[in-house]
Structure 1
Amino acid sequence: MSEAWRQFSSSIPSPRIERLTDGLLSVTPEIEAERALLVTESYKETEAAPINIRRAKALEKILSKMNIVIRDNELIVGNLTTKPRATQIFPEFSNKWLLEEFETLAKRKGDVFLISEEAKQNLREVFQYWDGKTVNELATEFMFTETKEAMDAGVFTVGNYYFNGVGHISVDYDKVLKKGFNGIIAEVEEARAKADKSDPDYIKKDQFLLAVVITAKAVINFAKRFAEEARTLANKSLNPQRSEELLRIAENCEWVPANPARSFYEAMQSFWFVQAVIQIESNGHSISPMRFDQYMYPYYEKDIASGKITKEEAQELLDCLWVKFNDVNKVRDEGSTKAFGGYPMFQNLIVGGQDASGKDATNELTFMCLEATAHIKLPQPSISIRVWNKTPDELLLKSAEISRLGLGMPAYYNDEVVIPSLVARGVSLSDARDYGIIGCVEPQKGGKTEGWHDAAFFNMAKVLELTINNGMAGDQQLGPKTGEFTSFTAFDQFMDAFRKQMEYFVSLLVNANNSVDLAHGERAPLPFLSSMVEDCIGKGKSLQEGGAYYNFTGPQGVGVANVGDSLMAIKKLVFDEKKITLRDLKDALDTNFGDQGQSAVERKLNSIDDISREAVAEIFKKLLLEENKTSLDELKNVNSNINIDLGTKKDKEYVRQMLINGAPKFGNDIDEVDDLAREGALIYCREVEKYKNPRGGQFQPGLYPVSANVPMGAATGATPDGRKAGMPLADGVSPVSGRDQTGPTAAMNSVAKLDHYIASNGTLFNQKFHPSALEGQQGLENLSAVVRSFFDQKGLHAQFNVISREMLMEAQENPEKYKSLVVRVAGYSAHFTALDKSIQDDIIERTEHSF
């Protein structure tokens, strides 16, 4: 391999790239109805057909009839919508929420979409056909009543796949580049010819394989439509250079993706057709290119060696492709925009790391991918880097240089944690070494895995709240009765109760996930997507039916630091030092530390004017036995004084300050609290990994929130870490904002103590640095050293916002001046001004570090 990459230096983007990016940033996203009309038309025509054939015929109709566009200045072509950054609608997954939000889409605080009256009318008519036929409706029918009640109470949400396509996958792009879809068709026809017709599943398998052939041919014809359009535009163009470019585009689209790519340019175009059509077939996001620098490098290396392309030309093609990633969009319900704010599509592209044989895989394209991110300064693709002990210093320094731009990218991943964690889940060593990242932080072997990553958000802090309330949510007995909080005499008793509540609610989470999983398999298999994942063709099954080689379901726990800090406060201040009684703590939490007036007990007692001690005891009995709102302890200790003083708002704020300041906090490298955070997370993770999914695979836990820590906090009452009701939960496995007070290294040391191996669906650690921390060469070296140190301690992931609090506050006040400002939200970056204010506030409040 050439060592020229060691001298790779930064460049500036071409004027073409600036024009393309300006064109994207100048528009407000719109909703288009074209796909919804076409898929509905197709479904009406195929009522009697098997579901895989219906899905294939629907994609065929969409690709043959949708409006195709070649935008000015483009070198890589293939649109999903007529207008830039627009979105299509996928009524087969869900639609009623959109019908209810037509009039508010343009008035949202975040993720605004325009929609014409014509589109509204078309969609209203389309949605009538889908009433009772959607994936969402079937999944709801599968769920237990208790499951739906827990979701309504904010214990967990499966809204991601409940309302949309699954996504969260990386296909075998390399296979398409090497064989083309004609090669895949030949592979399928051979499998059909060799199939055992006596197999009782033969008919179903053959229908799936036939569906694959239909979709492969549809994509080939889709590309040829672009070839024809390019020639038409070339003939009309008055610009000789653009005419020549369009004719080259036509040649590319005639050849790929039907046939194997013969050049770097053809490989790029073939790749994009795959990327685009996956997202036309289904609106599942996180369609991740993963190890792009590995499967694209042979085409680049060959063309450079032969003189067919220059580095500058190749870089411009990369930059053009990077712009195309940002043309992909989707509309979510308004509630989900608080968990996925900023129009994110989570197309994770990762570079570096080691190859399947365990050798360092860094190459020249690795650096050029990072350079493309620096050139376009847009949120997509979500660029990441794999790091291990043989990662070249030059690559880490280049990555730190990109981090210094303030885009929140790249994200850093530790090979020496991810690889063994995947092997422990049954992935072969060579496959584990070839991992990439899906969506936010989820590792998998591309082209062989249906991971169902990001399958749910599980509110660990809500389970803690329910434990404190003996399974009650308001007046509803939501969870099991595990003991009145004020009756516990030892910390271990409370921990046992927490484990029992966790066990119960994780079982409901599994029911929800498996219900949605089954509904997708029955109503929305994806034959095109499945054709590029091993071993769907071999098994004769779609991904949704268990066709992948590896099958997982990956729900993630949210609120790790809140749980750790809360457990520490209870243990230290209540049981060890006895500075707070359980009753005082319970009353403080019940009243949101005095902000919501009196607790139920206080309201009863303070309504008494003149009453005997016996009568007071009777009231307590009623509360204990009938309303379940106090404990036997409180009954035994009723004060004989009629004017019982249960505490003022001032007293409860004192309790809150003691909870905040009287116990150590996660994020300061203090073993006692860090170990409790670790144990709290393990209680969740150990429960999750007990379960199987309908595709024959295993549940695997993750610890990351996307940005669901904000809405999940809104659904959670006051917690013993001093957090008030409704406030955001901690971000990922990061400390609670402002509680990590002893510097970035101490925070990393705390996070590294969590068991990142068991959380094999990914963990997410955010840090924010003031720009001055990364100034000069020393700043880059400092960041590189911090990453290596954290990974030496077996942390899994880290990412950095390098931006000042002052700039964020200025952007919040004057958004029109900061339309291009990109920040790291959670496992993704987004334009700051497109975010809901609650997410903006959460980013602003994160601890700002310096070295």
Structure 2
Amino acid sequence: MRNVVADPSRSPVACDADPGDRLARLRLRYQTETPVISIERARYYTASWFAPENQAKPLPIRVALAMLHVYRHLNLYIDADDRIAGHWTENFLGVPIPIERGEYNRVLAAELTTATLAAFRAKSATKGIAYLARRRSWREFLHNQRITRAAGTPPLNLSLKTMAEREINPYTIDPADREILLKQLLPAWEGRTLADHLETALAAAGLYSGEMHDFVTAMPGSTSRQVLWLSTCATVATIQGHVVLDYDRVLHHGLCGLRDEVARRLAAADDDEQRDFLTAAQLALEGVTLFAQRLAARLEQAAKAAADPGRQTELAELARLCARVPEHPARTFREAVQSLWTIKTAVEIAQPINLHCFGRLDQSLQPYYHRDRRAGRLTRDEAVELLAELQLKIMAQNIRPESNILGNFYQRYLGSAPVTVGGKRRDGRDGTNDTTYLFIEAARRSKAVTNLSIRVHPGTPDELFQAAAAGLADGTSSFSFFNDEVMIPAMRQRGFALRDARDYAIMGCVEATCPGKTGSMSANGLQLCRLLDITLRNGDSKILAGTIHGDGLPTGGAGRFADFDELLAAFLRQGRYFIEKIAVGSNLRDRLHAERLPAPLISVFIDGCVESGKDVTRGGARYDLSGISMINSIANLVDSLYVIKKLVFERRRLSLPELVAAVDDNFQGHEALAAEIAALPGMWGNGDPETDELARYVMAGLFAETYHHRSFKNAPFVVYLISMITHTVEGRLSPATPDGRRAATPFAASANPYNVEHAGITGVLRSVASLPYRDVLGAAVNVKFHPSAIGKNRLTRDKWIHLIRAYFGLGGLQIQPTVADAAMLRDAQIHPENHRDLIVKVGGYSTYFVDLGREIQAEVIARTQHD
């Protein structure tokens, strides 16, 4: 077997870390080794899926059998630094391929060799040229290229460097595996993946208006299909993802208990659909059990082969743990952590790159920690070290083989598989406990980018804030803070019972869910500035590739609006139109998952599925959600509307068509107007009552529309304010906006102002807190603090804590600080080797600054810094 046991001393970077500091050595390897694309999962899944004997089997059973085949044959990797066992590929740092979903298949088909990449570029260029000729858009296209070049914007990365050759976030693959992937596996799935079927279904449903479908098929911006465009302002995600499993059920009952429950339900099932689902659930649990058994056996072999007595003892203990859990209930802290990790790794293999999150681990692990400490089985430092390794391992499974064109906008790891700590318990009392503090200390020790989502409320002890502030002061910018006093009522507003709302956990970047009771959620996107652009152009949409006619509704062009209220009404009408379109597209996606890609393993760990005999993709969970991220961005939208209100309708400084013309010219030749806009007081983010009320009114109008739609699984559509990296990617493709933002530059991230803050941090937080968060189940508020703002002593930190408490008292939902000064960030661009551990917040997740592409690094540096 390949890569059964690895010796870190053979790593080319091992010498850079203190040989006595295991965590530092692990972190350095995660930061510097090149990820390996693994074909093993794809290979074994494909073999079972297309096996003749499986073709006639019911779909859930066929999926479960495919994964059972994977668990039976997957090579199991054990690292010499592992104290928690289990990797999702046969390599220390690898990424498996969800080949049946297909969102990365085109990336791999095009970008693994120079020849395939050149062929893809040539095909794309031919299609693009034909589109421009067909639409007679050459003049506009060349004009847009000229004005962006004149502004100093570099071209997009269209190089012929393969995934292994590119400078930012490269991936490697074994040459023999590459041949199998390109010649056997990817061709076998061509036209058969979930992404393929979704593209076909969206087109057949008539969701593309005007010239949009012609544009989408002719001008592919990327080989990745994580999201599909319905419009320039509306997208649908391919995956469902975003889920927190019921890990407590495994800790308390073990897989044996789950199997007994499934068997009882199967014996009482009264229809074929229930029997098929429950049979698949049995097979799914059998697969996880087999995975754990094989892992225990491999650890026993490694222990016998280990030359070092100390390592032999460690491996034997790991083998004992894996033989015990997750098959049986956990009894100790170490057993609980290993049980959690085995289950998560098995689920990640079954559904890779799907954002399976752990939920409230401080609540789950506290009883085990408390018992072990009283019994003298565990020291505090041992527990911290174990949780630090856990955070590094979570980070290493949140990695995606992105396309070349996204290289300058992406990063190696996303911290978007968070651990949630703190907050209220189900009975309403404060849930802060010893393990809450362990996780904060573990984040400081590990320096992993895994988000630590810290729930707070008025009864949260100051000591928790002090512990988090100390971590921020030393550069641990992986902390995010969530306000229970706002989030719990928002959960109630969307149908969650009070005890379940109090038990919320964060999944993905900032999205709230009830752990173990809520089905997979997929966030779709509504691009706010594009929505305004469509409104100003009578339903046409302008991006830098040209104008797409008929993308939206003909609500009247820039010269037709008699007053500002008429413009707002047209904007909200466009918003209702596109939210409905997103709901239809999202439901098509969810129906396809139910019909083509059930998830029996995830279903076993979600309350309601086994009880109802219904897969999670068919609405078996107790709760469900569908998401719409309203992005790119609140700040640019509100500021643009404010400029229109002030300069066009109140001061009559110019007409709205004249402002649109200046936008189309990227303000070149309109420098006086650009200066006037830049000097306009009251932009959003300064606590100005007029713009805060405008933001509240416009966003409340959009939020209200989501209540008029239900998902395929009869769930509500909920709002998130989170941009991920789209504020840079979409900004790169977008013309200027009326607020003075230039073409091909980033939008404001998530719920952030657009670097127009003149009233300090208090003005920023007053504006952000004014949004109607009762309708929102997640928002990201990035604030860049100079280290001096946090300080090194308790008195300074007390002032910072008072600021955060006051912001939450105003109704703020979330805040996620990046603590780093601009000079440090610029030096990290020049000397990345000196700043490998520098963590920043991007859209809603943490990542290492030096892993970011240059364009998104520049966006982080450009954010307003608060001292």
Q: Taking structure 1 as the reference length, what is the TM-score of the superposition?
A: 0.88
The verdict on how the C-alpha distance between 1:235 and 1:184 changes in structure 2, with shifts beyond 3 A counting, is same
Q: CA deviation at 1:724?
A: 1.4
- Shifted more, 143-152 versus 215-224: the winner is 143-152
Most deviating of 247-256 and 230-239: 230-239
Partner Cα distance (1:345, 1:276) in 2: 17
Once residues 407 and 776 of structure 2 are traced to their aligned partners in structure 1, the CA distance between those partners, rounded to angstroms, is: 26
Alpha-carbon contact 1:154-1:716 (below 8 Å) kept: no
Q: 1:93 to 1:451 in 2, by over 3 A?
A: closer
**Would you say the 8 A contact 2:430–2:460 is kept in 1?**
yes
2:529 matched to which residue of 1?
A: 461
Shift of 1:433: 0.5
Inter-partner Cα distance in structure 2 for 1:416 and 1:292: 21
Alpha carbons of structure 1 residues 524 and 340: separation in structure 2 relative to 1, 3 Å: farther
CA–CA distance in structure 1, aligned partners of residues 371 and 716 of structure 2: 41
1:362 to 409, 413, 432: 432
Give, in angstroms, the shift of residue 98 of structure 1: 2.3
Quick one: which of 37, 42, 49 aligns to 2:43?
37
Counterpart for residue 730 of structure 2: 712
Q: Indicate yes or no: 2:448 matched with 1:378.
A: yes
Secondary structure of 2:94's aligned partner: coil
Note if 1:529 corresponds to 2:602: yes
Q: CA deviation at 1:666?
A: 0.5
Would the aligned equivalents of 2:409 and 2:854 in 1 still touch at CA under 8 Å? no
C-alpha separation in 2, matches of 1:14 and 1:109: 31
SS in 1 for 2:630: strand
> Does structure 1 residue 157 correspond to structure 2 residue 175?
no
Gaps of 5+ in 2: 1-17, 114-161, 217-228, 542-546
Contact 1:154 1:715 survives alignment (8 Å): no
Distance in structure 2 (CA, Å) of the matches to 1:310 and 1:168: 34
Shift of 1:339: 6.5
Cα drift, residue 363 of structure 1: 0.8
Structure 2 CA distance for aligned equivalents of residues 688 and 107 of structure 1: 44
**Structure 1 residue aligned with 2:457:** 388
**What CA RMSD, in Å, does the superposition of the two structures yield over aligned residues?**
1.8
Alignment of 1:99-248 (within 5 A): 99-103=109-113, 104-108=162-166, 110-124=168-182, 125-143=184-202, 144-147=205-208, 149=213, 151=229, 154-158=232-236, 161-162=237-238, 165-195=239-269, 197=270, 202-248=271-317
Report the residue type matching 2:784 in the other structure: K
| Partners of 1:342 and 1:832 within 8 A in 2 | no
Structure 2: distance between partners of 1:75 and 1:656: 58
Classify 1:340/1:433 alpha carbon distance in 2 versus 1 (closer, same or farther; 3 Å): farther
Q: Report how far residue 152 of structure 1 moved.
A: 6.5
Give CA-to-partner distance per residue, 1:83-120, whole Å, 9 cap, x none: 22210111101112321222331344543212232222
Alignment-derived partner of residue 784 in structure 2? 768
Equivalent residue number for residue 129 of structure 2: none
1:335 is displaced (CA, Å) by: 5.2
- From 58, 68, 74, give the equivalent of 2:66: 58
CA drift at 1:235: 1.4
Tell me, what secondary structure is at the counterpart of 2:455? strand
Contact in 1 for aligned 2:41/2:70 (Cα 8 Å) = yes
CA-to-partner distance for each residue in 1:394-416, whole Å, 9 max, x for gaps? 00111111122223221000000
Given that 1:208 and 1:527 are in contact with CA atoms closer than 8 Å, whether structure 2 keeps it comes out as: yes
Matching of residues 554-569 of structure 1 within 5 Å = 554-558=627-631, 559-569=633-643
Q: Verify the 8 A CA contact 1:291 1:350 in the aligned structure 2.
A: yes
Aligned match of 2:145: none
Contact persistence 1:447–1:533 (CA under 8 A): yes
Q: CA separation in 1, counterparts of 2:671 and 2:658?
A: 11
Aligned positions of 1:254-265 closer than 5 A: 254-265=323-334
1:442 maps to 511
2:117 counterpart residue number: none
Q: Secondary structure at the match of 1:767?
A: strand
Cα deviation, residue 300, structure 1: 1.0
Identify the range of structure 1 (567-576 vs 399-408) with the bigger mean alpha-carbon deviation: 399-408
Amino acid at match of 1:736: Y
Matching residue's letter, 2:68: E
Counterpart residue number, 1:624? none
The offset of 1:688, in angstroms, is 2.4
Q: Within the alignment, does 1:416 sit opposite 2:485 as a pair?
A: yes
1:71 matched residue in structure 2: 79
Residues 395, 413 of structure 2: 8 Å contact kept = no
| SS in structure 2 at match of 1:701 | strand
Instruction: Name the count of aligned residue pairs.
Output: 770
Q: Call closer, same or farther: CA 1:458–1:31 in 2, change over 3 Å.
A: same
- On the 8 A contact 2:473/2:792 being kept in 1, the answer is no
Instruction: State the Cα deviation string for residues 564-607 of structure 1 (Å, max 9, x = none).
Output: 1111111111111212222321221222212xxxxxxxxxxxxx
1:673 corresponding residue in structure 2: 691
1:782 aligns with 2:799: yes
1:538 matched to 2:538: no
Residue pairs, 1:222-371, within 5 angstroms = 222-328=291-397, 329-334=399-404, 341-344=411-414, 346-371=416-441
Rounded to whole Å, the distance in 2 between the matches of 1:191 and 1:706 is 41
Query: What is the CA–CA distance in structure 1 between the aligned matches of 2:181 and 2:421, rounded to whole Å?
Result: 41
Q: Are positions 1:96 and 2:106 aligned together?
A: yes
> Partners in 2 of 1:447 and 1:845 — Cα distance?
40
Q: Which moved more, 1:327-336 or 1:835-844?
A: 327-336
Checking the alignment, whether the CA contact within 8 Å between 1:111 and 1:343 is kept in structure 2 is no
Q: Name 1:734's counterpart in structure 2.
A: 752
Contact persistence 1:153–1:715 (CA under 8 A): no
Shift of 1:289: 0.9
Distance 1:128 1:475, change over 3 A: closer
Q: How does 1:406-805 map to 2 (within 5 A)?
A: 406-453=475-522, 455-473=523-541, 474=547, 476-558=549-631, 559-594=633-668, 649=669, 652-737=670-755, 739-760=756-777, 762-777=778-793, 778-805=795-822
Q: Secondary structure at the match of 2:50?
A: helix
Give the conservation status (yes or no) of the 8 Å contact 1:231–1:247: yes
**Distance (whole Å) between structure 1 residues aligned to residue 430 and residue 56 of structure 2:** 53
Aligned mates of 1:236, 1:451 — CA distance in 2? 42
Displacement after TM superposition at 1:26 (Å)? 3.3
- Give the C-alpha shift of residue 667 in structure 1: 0.5
Letter of the 2:190 partner, please give it. Answer: D
Instruction: Look up the equivalent residue of 1:815 and give its one-letter code.
Output: P
Query: Where does residue 600 of structure 1 map in the other structure?
Result: none
Task: Encode CA deviations 1:137-156: one digit per residue, 9 max, x unaligned.
Answer: 11112213443648275313
1:239-267 Cα deviation digits (max 9, x unpaired): 22211111111111111111111111111
SS in 2 for 1:449: coil
User: Which string of whole-angstrom CA distances, capped at 9 and with x for unpartnered residues, describes residues 267-297 of structure 1?
Assistant: 1100001111111001243211110000111
Q: CA deviation at 1:512?
A: 2.1
Separation in structure 2 between the aligned mates of residue 468 and residue 820 of structure 1, nearest angstrom: 45
Q: Matched residues in 1 for 2:660 and 2:681: separation?
A: 17
Q: Mean alpha-carbon deviation: is it higher for 434-443 or for 711-720?
A: 711-720
For 1:522-541, what per-residue CA distance to the aligned partner results, in whole angstroms no more than 9, with x for missing partners? 22111111100010101111
Structure-1 separation of matches of 2:32 and 2:855: 25
Contact 1:467 1:501 in 2 (8 A): yes
The letter for the 1-side match of 2:702 is Y
CA distance in 1, matches of 2:321, 2:327: 10
**Aligned-residue offset at 1:384:** 1.3
- For 1:756-783, what per-residue CA distance to the aligned partner results, in whole angstroms no more than 9, with x for missing partners? 11122x1111100111222222332222
Aligned-residue offset at 1:680: 2.3
Question: How far did 1:19 drift?
Answer: 2.8
Contact 1:407 1:829 in 2 (8 A): no
The SS at the match of 2:337 is helix
Shift of residue 800 of structure 1? Answer: 0.5
Partner Cα separation in structure 1 for residue 717 and residue 334 of structure 2: 40
